[in-house]
Amino acid sequence: MALAGKVVLITGAGSGIGSAIAAGAAAAGASVALVGRRADALEATAALVRRIAGEHTRIAVLPGDMRTGAEAERVTAAAIDRLGRIDGLVNNAGVARFAPLESATSEDLDAMLDTHVRGPVALIRACLPSLRTHRGSVVNVSSVGGTLAMPGRSLYGASKAALNSLTRSLARELAPAVRVNAVLPGPVETPMYDDLGLDAHATAALRANLLAGTPMGRFGTPDEVAHWVCTLLDDERSAWVTGVLMPVDGGRTA
């Protein structure tokens, strides 16, 4: 099993891509620390993990808001206390607020920067001693929005571009002890589209636009993204891979 004996901490683990990553990592042999703001959603993911990977799977359910350094340190300490170590960190938590510049709010910008930049920085810093000891791996779940021009979604794209830059710089800074990579999904069928700050008509128009710009002709699935996250966590398959921004986007950035 590719991740046998590893401990992987996953943020945003309560739904969508995060839930799929947890299930995929556990199926590959990892113990998983599930982090997110909603305890009920994390418990649902834990139940999914047990169905897929078996009742014996070691799971720590750790509700918390990772946008502050104190919470990152608390959750990291709790994960190590319950599971013994951290070999892999997946910064998957995300928030999307789409609006033209004139109507975008500072509060929405702060929420995206907190979630996509400050939170990952705090968690990487908190996990770093264990990651260094065990020659671990960080995978940031970013977005093709961090590389494409996106009118009406510029602030979201800017926050993901910052995460992409952080990924590449830390890959050099933390090598060779810790690998740092990012997966850049295109449009994926997740609950995110129910919480964009857009009305139903605007959301439908956005989805149609995304679909039209995706050569594979469909949205991706959380499992298709989780596959590549788990591959980048795997030392055997990705031991010489760091600093990569990997599009998983149905050809959207081709």
DSSP for residue 96: -
What is the CATH architecture of 7-248? Answer: 3-Layer(aba) Sandwich (3.40)
Q: What is the mean pLDDT of residues 45-63?
A: 97
Query: By the 8 A CB rule, do 7 and 84 touch?
Result: yes
Q: What is the pTM of this model?
A: 0.95
In whole angstroms, what is the distance from residue 222 CA to residue 189 CA?
7
Q: What residue spans define the domains of the chain? A: 7-248
The pLDDT > 90 percentage for the chain reads: 88
Q: What is the mean pLDDT of residues 164-181?
A: 98
CA–CA gap between residue 88 and residue 96 (Å, rounded) = 25
Q: In this predicted structure, what is the pLDDT of residue 191?
A: 81
| Phi, psi (rounded to 5 degrees) for 250 | 60, 25
Give the dihedral sign, CA 203/206/212/215.
negative
Q: Rounded distance, CA 250 to CA 222, Å? A: 13
Q: Tell me how many helices (H) and strands (E) the chain has.
A: 9, 7
In the annotation, is 156 catalytic? yes
Pick the catalytic residue: 20, 36, 88, 156?
156
Taking a C-beta distance cutoff of 8 angstroms, is the pair 97, 111 a contact? Answer: yes
Q: Per the structure block, which two tokens stand in for 105?
A: 């709010």
Run of H or E including 70:
helix 69-83
